[in-house]
Amino acid sequence: MLLILLGAPGAGKGTQGSLLSERLGIPKIATGDILRLAVREGTPLGLEAKRFMDAGELVPDEVILGLVREALAGAPQGAILDGFPRNTAQAEALRDILAESGRAVDAVVALEVPVDAIVERMGGRRTDPVTGAVYHLVHNPPPAEVAERCVLRPDDQEETVRHRLAVYEASTRPLIDFYERAGVPVHRVDGNRPIDQVQDEILQRLGR
């Protein structure tokens, strides 16, 4: 199963992707997580990516495609893609990379959440820098033993969030059409409900 999670910043791709990964027993490939790890480790990739991420801009396609090609090679049984593809060029490249091993995208889940809810979610989001786990101060609080080390993401200030939303509208939302035209099943799911309800609907739509 090769599944793409589409959705605006804060729509819940990471949250739902981790749950689905456990449930379906296939890895989650999250380009944002890979990039944040590289930034933390100060690798050349991290140094290059950081200025784009902090500004809420997309990191150049050639950087991302190298990462994804490697991650997919390590996931022959399938994967959940979170945060990739992000524009038409990436979607076309993904199709070509998968075709090399006779694979294709099986389904797309598009999480839909209104802007006000997104801005509230980002303000309350906290990430555990050790495990990468994502929490929310109100909707999904971190366990007491990790709460102190959890941090706000540098690109979660309201102004940067609004810019990321504009980038999503311009570059990423058109992928819903792209996949519908390609005949890939696209499941539009209302992401503005409790986490477990969203998860249940995704599983149901995927026939699991």
Residues that bind ligand AP5 (CB under 6 A): 7, 9-15, 31-32, 35, 52-53, 56-59, 64, 83-84, 86, 90, 121, 124-125, 134-136, 139-140, 155, 164, 191, 193-195, 198
Mapping DSSP to helix (H, G, I), strand (E, B) and coil, where does residue 7 land? strand
**14-43 positions binding Mg ion, by CB under 5 A:** 14
Outline where DSSP puts E strands in the chain: 2-7, 28-30, 79-82, 107-112, 125-127, 134-136, 186-190
Which residue in 36, 121, 125, 126 is the catalytic one? 125
Outline where DSSP puts E strands in 13-163: 28-30, 79-82, 107-112, 125-127, 134-136
Which residue in 153, 162, 173, 193 is the catalytic one? 153
Which residue in 28, 36, 86, 126 is the catalytic one? 86
140 - beta bridge partners? 136
- Closer residue to Mg ion (CB): 14 or 85: 14
Tell me if residue 95 is catalytic.
no
Stretch that binds Mg ion, among 12-20, 115-123, 153-161, 175-183 (CB under 5 A): 12-20
Tell me if residue 86 is catalytic.
yes
